[in-house]
Structure 1
Amino acid sequence: MTLKQLEAFYWAATCRNFAIAANRLNISVSSLSKRIGELEASIGADLFSRSARSATLTALGEQLVPHAKDLLRNADQFMQQASNNLTFSGRCRFGAGELTSLTWMPRLIETIQQAHPNLLVDPFVGVGELVERGLEEGELDFAVIAGPSSRASIASRLIGSAEFEWVASARAVGDPATLTPADLPGLTLITLPQSSGAIRILDDWLTEQHVSPGRNQCCNSWGGIAGMLRLGLGLGFLPSAWARILIARGDVQPLPGFAPLRPLPYTFQWRRDDTRPMLDSLRALAEDCLDFHAPTFLV
């Protein structure tokens, strides 16, 4: 029995399918199946039932999953103790929201590659709901998104927050300086879709103000929202750094009569059953890199 065989068994057992497990280990599906077969031969019993269209765990396989997890965790801890300058190798896939991807994600990737030059990092950018699903199903190793997660299988650690400001063009509302929440029922509110984490703070704000917009117009891109606000298609909120750039240019104006939105917490998320030391290192790097100041060329 080898650690590679145990890894193949554990990830095949906990990922949605063999293809995802193979991707996590950066090997082919046939290599994954071979390692599992070798492990089954060494213990003299089947760990997966292959009679169905997809492989399912046998009763013995179910019993051995937590033991495999413990063995792999102990092996990782052994390696961590063996070297004070432990670096990681292989492939790491992580998920992030659009705002992160447009601001500090490139710096995070650069920092990870400097700390772990043999670790290939693949980012996936999507709305929070989609990213969490990929994390839960084993397609991603970790995620940096608005949180915390409400899924029982996902752990979340707060690493920072993003701030937003209400803005509008005079073309949309006349005199933005005199606008109040009471005017909102007669206006168009431009926002991200419901699957976005930023909607959480908007919903809280609308509840606190006891108002609803006359019309919601959704766009799944912060850049698209910024452009729509500049053209006066409605009012809305933008990341604070973006808003200040557009205000300084005269493209939009602040809404002083609107109560501020609360900061949106951002979390480092991972599967609760994933105890690899690599995740502790990457979480610390993500916390150091987090910075939602917008690059000016995007706005």
Structure 2
Amino acid sequence: MDLEAVRTFVVAADAGQFQEAAADLSITQQAVSKRIAVLEKDLGVRLFTRTARGAALTIDGQAFLPHARELLRVAERAVASVRAGHRPLRVDVIASRGAASGLMRGFHRAHPEIELDVVWLFDIETAVAAIRSGAIDASFRAVAAPGRPLPGDIESVRAIDEPLQLLTGPAHALAGARSVTLAQLAGHRIWMPGIVPGTEWAAYYDDLVAEFGLTIEATGPNFGSDALLDTVADTPALATFMGAQTRLVWPAGHDLRRIPVTDPTPVYPHSLLWRRDNPHPALATLHAHLAATAAGHDDAGTWVPHWVGPR
């Protein structure tokens, strides 16, 4: 159904004259008559009868009028829902406890007037597909894993470099250390069941293992961070890596230790990805916020894989 014809019908019904409706719509009276005729043909009924005073609604016209008004209201709501700045900014943060989630909480505190939808997608291919389709506006990812460059219509900017820390239980051999070097970690078992082959974080840890001779085990099912903390607390032979800005809560009896890693400090690079032609005005506000709050990248004494970008 032609919405312009429906709008013309409503204006003509309110005016009671095609000539006045034409003036209100800034079109000719002939155009009004033509639109009404098309609508009547589509509906298979007459909507107006001509009178000496103008045009009067038929019984069918009276029945159709409230529905025509609702059609126009629904159309306006549909347009408003996607009009730039009139819908929430939708951002993927990968996980609720990670650094990207913390960045978006800071953004929300700084800009409470911007409505947000926060989602959790799995790997970079899923996130990029969602950005390109318009399902989300942006995603935080490490880019770009070897052999998988970003599509040309996707932009990225480095948002934050998150240092890794070693997480141990109280009985682990390194539990009392104030810091540990990557060389000291050689020979220790680092258990990370959340590493999934083919993901960007798997590529990151593959390079970390290859360059520094570490032993990272991804065996066993991934029951989530709570189960991981339980196991690390109870198993002196196991430790794990955690991002310094990853929010963790554990029972006091676990007595877990978060130990800085140095010489060099491995940092996990979080970048913001978005579609180049995305018009949502809140994206520019998010970019400015990240630029103002993010620390420097590639600092002396830090390590990232060679493929990480942009630098």
Length-normalised TM-score, structure 1: 0.51
Q: CA deviation at 1:183?
A: 1.8
**2:88 — aligned with what?**
91
C-alpha separation in 1, matches of 2:223 and 2:264: 22
Which whole-Å CA distance do the structure 1 matches of 2:260 and 2:282 have between them?
Answer: 44
Instruction: Please list, as runs of the form range in 1=range in 2, the aligned pairs for 1:1-299 lying within 5 A after superposition.
Output: 88-98=85-95, 99-100=98-99, 102-114=101-113, 116=114, 120-129=115-124, 130-148=126-144, 150-152=149-151, 153-171=153-171, 173-174=172-173, 180-184=184-188, 187=189, 189-194=191-196, 197-213=200-216, 216-217=219-220, 219=222, 221-232=224-235, 234-240=238-244, 250-252=255-257, 254=259, 260-274=264-278, 277-288=281-292
2-structure distance, mates of 1:287, 1:97 = 21
Report how far residue 128 of structure 1 moved.
3.9
CA deviation vs aligned residue, 1:164-187 (integer Å, no higher than 9, x gap): 11232254x555569944424xx3
Paired with 1:208 and 1:182, the residues of 2 have a C-alpha distance of 11
When residues 285 and 254 of structure 1 are mapped into structure 2, their CA distance, relative to the original with a 3 A threshold, is closer
Residue 240 of structure 2 aligns to a residue whose secondary structure is strand
Q: CA deviation at 1:191?
A: 4.4
1:251 maps to amino acid: L
Q: Residues 128 and 146 of structure 1 are in contact (CA less than 8 Å); yes or no, is this contact kept in structure 2? A: no
Across the two proteins, how many residue pairs are aligned to each other?
A: 196
Mind listing any 5+ residue stretches in structure 1 that lack a counterpart? 1-86, 292-299
1-structure distance, mates of 2:129, 2:273: 12
Q: Considering only CA atoms, is the larger Rg found in Structure 1 or Structure 2?
A: 2
Consecutive unaligned residues of structure 2, counting only runs of 5 or more, are 1-83, 296-311
Counterparts of 1:221 and 1:286, CA distance in 2: 29
Report SS of the residue matched to 1:267: strand
8 Å Cα contact 2:194/2:218 also seen in 1: no
2:112 is paired with a residue whose SS is helix
Deviation, structure 1 residue 197 = 4.2
Note the alpha carbon deviations across 1:110-137, whole angstroms, 9 max, x for none: 43433x4xxx321112334233332233
Distance of aligned partners of 1:227 and 1:131 in 2 relative to their CA distance in 1, 3 Å threshold: farther
Aligned partner of 1:75 in structure 2 is none
Residues 162 and 245 of structure 2 are in contact (CA less than 8 Å); yes or no, is this contact kept in structure 1? Answer: no
Amino acid in the other structure paired with 1:157: V
- What is the one-letter code of the residue matched to 1:140? I
Indicate conservation of the 8 Å contact 1:188/1:216, yes or no.
no
Determine helix, strand or coil for the equivalent of 1:183: coil
**Alpha-carbon distance in structure 2 between the residues aligned to 1:109 and 1:151:** 28
User: Cα–Cα, structure 1 residues 242 and 160, in superposed 2: closer, same or farther, change >3 Å?
Assistant: closer
Instruction: Find the aligned partners of 2:281 and 2:227 in 1 and give their Cα distance.
Output: 39
- Larger fraction in helix: 1
% identical equivalent positions: 13
**AA of the residue aligned to 1:105:** M
- Aligned residues of 1:169 and 1:235 also touching (Cα < 8 A): yes
Rounded Cα–Cα distance in structure 2 between residues aligned with 1:245 and 1:236: 15
2:167 and 2:255 mapped to 1: Cα distance?
A: 11
Provide closer, same or farther for how the CA distance between residues 264 and 212 of structure 1 changes in structure 2, counting only shifts above 3 A.
same
Q: Could you say if the C-alpha distance between residues 145 and 112 of structure 1 is closer, same or farther in structure 2, counting changes exceeding 3 Å?
A: farther
Contact preservation (8 Å) 1:96, 1:124: yes
